[in-house]
Amino acid sequence: MNEAKLLARVQHRNIVNLLGYCALGVEKLLVYEYVANESLDKFLFNSDKRGQLDWKQRYDIIIGIARGLLYLHQDSHSCIIHRDIKASNILLDGKWVPKIADFGMARLFPEDQTHVNTRVAGTKTDKRPKKFSI
């Protein structure tokens, strides 16, 4: 329940809101706020939905993601490193506000250290990045 412990500490407009969790035996359940517009990858990589995001919305989304990351890295109680930022982990609410989600690989950065050596993290993929037109 690393994700629940980390998210219980943070409150920010651009971080998905954890409403509750249950860890009963082997069953583990996280309950998040409802986010109406699915994840960013659905709009970037689906040719039918790509046109729904104009350049102003795209700009606002990237600024929101940057604000969320800045909060995690500098302004939260502890420095949190997400380690798996990608379009499918950015949820869009009904007003297209981005919410950083999926903190399963996230780690706390020790406050007394200026750098930490770790292994490479993130979602593994066996496919090359897809090309798409904007």
- The encoded tokens of residue 91 equal 């949820």
Pick the catalytic residue: 48, 60, 75, 84? Answer: 84
What DSSP string describes 48-115? TTGGGS-HHHHHHHHHHHHHHHHIIIIISSSEEE-S---GGGEEE-TT--EEE---TT-EEEPTT-S-
3 state DSSP class of 66:
helix
Beta-strand relationship, 79-81 and 90-92: unpaired
84 is catalytic: yes
List, by residue number, the catalytic residues: 84
